[in-house]
Amino acid sequence: MKEFFKKYQNYIWVAAYIILTVLSFIFGFNPGKSIFTNFTQSFVEMITFVPFLFIIVGLFDVWVPKEKIQQHIGQESGVKGIVLMVLLAMLQAGPLYGAFPVAYLLYRKGASIRNIFIYLGAFSSMKIPMLGIEIGYLGIEFSLARTLVSLPLFIGIGYLMEWYLKNRHFEVRDGSQ
Amino acid sequence: MSSNAIIFITLSAVLSGVSFFLDRKKTLTGFKRGWKMFRNVLFPFLGILILVSVLLYFIPPNVISQYLGANSGVIGFSIAALVGSVTLIPGFISYPIAAGLIQQGASYAVVATFMTTLMMVGVVTLPLEIRYFGKTVAITRNVLNFVAALIIGLVVGLILGLIS
């Protein structure tokens, strides 16, 4: 029963909302009606741009070869290494904890400590699908300002971590323990 | 139709056209992948839209602007930074919340702080992070990112205040 709820949680939530809204309209429950007006507005806002964003993301996914970039990680250092790391991070999707296994892979491939932390920073806030949705909801000015302020800070954190972990025998583990 | 819709529809149409011209098969694969990703987020997304609609109805705008608005000062920042660090809302569906907050009077600085801590600091996922990086490094990374998030919030708020 508990598992059933967990699995269908999102559907149950939406179904319950639809039922309550229909009841609100039948019985003339005003808060229900106002909430529905709010919902319609945000739904229209969402459905008129998010599906198109995913078309763009899907096309990016097939045209920009993530694997190819990954091959160069570790060999390139300096500015080129940083640019590649940020680019690779931007092509990913998903929550930050999904980036830890990738960080381990990059470490095994010889990426520097600095670049691994730059990767985590860029992963957390510059993924293309997320930037798209951010522009849609908060505007291009917000997105640009946030990205341009964040980027130097991540790079700074990368350098700071490298300096801090020098001679400390730091290694990224595979997460199994 | 909103300007958002126009921009995204135009951009996706142009890109699809170019892509289709270059490689039909690849384009269709891209559409399929995009559709799959969209399907995965659709229901969680609808859930959040419902939640935001309900909250916007029950929380009056003056409460939001009092605690998260331009004059909320340290309190607004603290609330945003703490809530953002502790909660685990997928980045993707947190944007409707952020947009709702701004619409109801929250300041850009506070929202930027909230979004950035949400993305960069993970208290809930710390045990997992420790497995990969060890205790000291994981905690250091989170603390550094927390500080960075505060700076980002302040500077973004400042920049947007200047241009608007």
Cα(A7)–Cα(B106) distance, integer angstroms: 34
Measured from the Cβ of residue A10, the count of other Cβ atoms closer than 10 Å reads 15
Tell me the mean pLDDT in the region A97-103.
86
| pLDDT for residue B156 | 94
Domain boundaries along the sequence of chain B: 1-58, 61-164
Contact between chains at B37 and A57 (C-beta distance less than 8 A): yes
Chain A residues lying within 8 Å of B164, measured CB to CB: 141
Chain A residues lying within 8 Å of B43, measured CB to CB: 10-11, 13-14
More confident residue, A67 or B46: B46
Asked whether B16 and A59 are in contact (CB, 8 A), the reply is: yes
First CA to last CA distance, chain B:
23
What is the dihedral sign for C-alpha B81, B123, A139, B59? negative
Chain A residues lying within 8 Å of B54, measured CB to CB: 35
| pLDDT for residue A147 | 95
pLDDT in tens, A1-25: 677 777 787 788 899 999 999 999 9
Q: H or E element: which one contains A102?
A: helix A99-108
pLDDT in tens, A142-158: 999 999 999 999 999 99
Closest partner CB to A46 (pick from B11, B45, B125): B45
